[in-house]
Structure 1
Amino acid sequence: MQTARQAARQRRHRRRIMLGTALRLVSTGLLAYLVVALRPDRQAEAPPSAATSVTTPRVGATTAAGTSAPSPTGSATPTGSTAPTGPRTPTVAATTATANPSAPHTPRPPRTASGTASLAGRIKPGTTYRGVATSYKAGNGDGACLFGPSNDLMIAAMNTTDYETSKACGAYVRVRAANGASVTVRITNECPLPCAPGQLDLSEQAFAKLAAPQLGRVPITWSLVSPSTSDTISLRYKTGSSAYWCGIQAIGHRNPVARLEVRTAGGWRRLPRTDYNYFVSADGGGCGGAIRLTDVYGEQLTVSGIALRPNVAQPTRVQFARH
């Protein structure tokens, strides 16, 4: 009996040992699992999320249409568009010794080979144009350019296309006929449709220098010239000008005026040009202050001391260089 009881106790002891060992193994395994599950880099084992394709354009990259892709750090302005604010319109790089620098924030365009491509418009120096000459009664010599009456009737009206919102006003052009005759005229007027591009409507006096008046219409070639003159430029404020609105006109300039700017508290401000040949400050900015003129060759002349006196041609002491 004693032996049987001892054997039973031994069996029970062995079972407790085996159960304890099993519990320890299970505890160790569970602890190891928790350590692995909670380690810091566990997120690397997470299932991947859906991928999103992001394409960043390269600076200066060219699209299929041939235009430059915008830089990711700035907005693009279409080539040839007008800057949104008048004062920030680019100014010419070529200046004379009398010209003052533009406002520091004003961007400057790249130089061109001729220096005049961005200034001259349709009528460019060194270019010969073909068309026809007709004639009209010039009366006292005044016209759409509003220069006023003149005793010099060697003048002409430019066709609307080449008149280009009065850019042609004041230009001197040499006109040649097929018979070899020539005459130099100043543009003071506009010839509306049906005047075609290249056509000049000459005063009767100027037409007579080329051909018999009864012909009425002759083929011509013509080109821009920069004549000799002893006159200086005059400036005139339009009737109704004040400190709140003004129109400014240049008179007697040797070369066509490409730009007129006025000095304001923020720097030089370019004024828009009207088809009646005045540069207008709609809010009065710069009216009565310094004025800067730029011709189609890029020369700049700065004039101070012009009083805000409407409808008075005030002479200056400056004139554009001859070319």
Structure 2
Amino acid sequence: MASPSHRRRSRRKWRAALVPAAVVAAVALAASLLMALRPDGNPTAADAPPAPVSGSPVPGSHSKASPTAPSRAPKPTPSPSKPPSSPPPATTTAPPRASNSAAAPASATAPPAGRIRPGVTYDGIATFYDTGNGDGACLYGPTDDVMTAAMNHADYETSRACGAYVRVRAADGASVTVRITNECPLPCAPGQLDLSAQAFAKLATPSAGRVPISWSLLSPGTPEAPERISIRYKTGSSSHWCGIQAVGHRNPLARLEVRDGGGWRQLRRTEYNYFLSEQGSGCGGELRLTDIYGERLTLDDLPVRPDVLQPTRVQFAAH
């Protein structure tokens, strides 16, 4: 049986434990009554803890921020309707200012002259060869004109030199005028002219073989140049395909064009000195010739007559 002193100590311990339990129960009862008296039962904004700013660590926390789920792109908010924007005003080009000089005619604009240019003197070597019947790479055909020459490959320039008149001078002052009717292939050097034997004899004795020369382009008058140009259609030409050649032009020919619909179409020049219309356009129609000085000559319709030299009534001006 416990002694009275021991029972008194037990009561004191029980009472000490009972007092805190009663306090906790009273606080819990008060809190439940407060929640019951609120209409929604949720804590107010003032009672809620502040939300952390995105990307900012929570104060007092040492943990790493957890990765957030990728946010969806917000839907575009419909903007108030706007009237359609008016198109930008059309830009206008101001008219050109008046010039004190009159506009140059189209014929005054010279096309590219190629390697051989007016007013330029070229140095080279003269040789000679047997011209036979006078025909050559330019396909002008046999001729009695013996004052001719073959142009070196570089200056021949895909037959652009064909028909050019050239004045050739030797070192002692002797000179001769020749017409380019042929090509001197390699190893003929740039500047070199292979003259007919008759033309070479005007500069030096045939035994010399080679002589230094200078030469320049010439725009001769009559009788060195014919009074008029002739046109020839190549063998096999028809209304479906044709090759066209101009013969006897005073100045080097820069372009040959045919009337194609409402305009002019330039034909390609071959190394054998014919201008080709491979689809037949313009064959037998109007032609337009342009020299390196820019002069244009328009020819009336000429029938397609292969291998026939058809004379015209026109010629380029002398310069």
Counterpart check, 1:150 vs 2:143: yes
Counterpart check, 1:308 vs 2:319: no
Counterpart check, 1:263 vs 2:274: no
Counterparts of 1:1-323 in structure 2, within 5 Å, are 15-18=32-35, 20=38, 23=42, 25=44, 95-96=106-107, 116=110, 119-229=112-222, 231-265=227-261, 267-323=263-319
How many Å separate the matches in 2 of 1:187 and 1:94?
30
Contact kept in structure 2, 1:94 and 1:300, CA below 8 Å:
no
CA offset at residue 164 of structure 1?
A: 1.0
Instruction: State the aligned residue count.
Output: 242
Aligned-partner SS, 1:321: coil
How many Å separate the matches in 2 of 1:28 and 1:132?
111
CA offset at residue 15 of structure 1?
A: 3.7
How many Å separate the matches in 2 of 1:178 and 1:287?
48
CA offset at residue 16 of structure 1?
A: 3.8
CA offset at residue 47 of structure 1?
A: 11
Contact kept in structure 2, 1:94 and 1:298, CA below 8 Å:
no
Partner of 1:79: none
How many Å separate the matches in 2 of 1:28 and 1:322?
110
CA offset at residue 155 of structure 1?
A: 0.7
Q: Structure 1 residues 296-305 or 231-240, which shifts more? A: 296-305
Distance 1:27 1:288, change over 3 A: farther
Aligned-partner SS, 1:235: strand
Larger radius of gyration: 2
Contact kept in structure 2, 1:94 and 1:299, CA below 8 Å:
no
Deviations 1:189-242 (A, max 9, x none): 111122111110111111111111221211000010100035111111101001
How many Å separate the matches in 1 of 2:277 and 2:304?
13
RMSD: 3.1
How many Å separate the matches in 2 of 1:47 and 1:124?
74
Partner of 2:58: none
How many Å separate the matches in 2 of 1:47 and 1:270?
64
Distance 1:29 1:288, change over 3 A: farther
Partner of 1:73: none
Deviations 1:50-88 (A, max 9, x none): xxxxxxxxxxxxxxxxxxxxxxxxxxxxxxxxxxxxxxx
Deviations 1:11-49 (A, max 9, x none): 96874444527615269979xx9xxxxxxxxxxx9799x
Aligned-partner SS, 1:269: strand
- Amino acid aligned to 1:237: Y
Q: Structure 1 residues 260-269 or 172-181, which shifts more? A: 260-269
Contact kept in structure 2, 1:96 and 1:301, CA below 8 Å:
no
- Amino acid aligned to 1:186: R
- Amino acid aligned to 1:145: C
Deviations 1:260-310 (A, max 9, x none): 111112632111111111011112122112111111112221212211111
Percent of paired sites with the same residue: 65
Contact kept in structure 1, 2:287 and 2:301, CA below 8 Å:
no
Unpaired segments ≥5 residues, structure 1: 1-7, 34-44, 49-92, 98-114
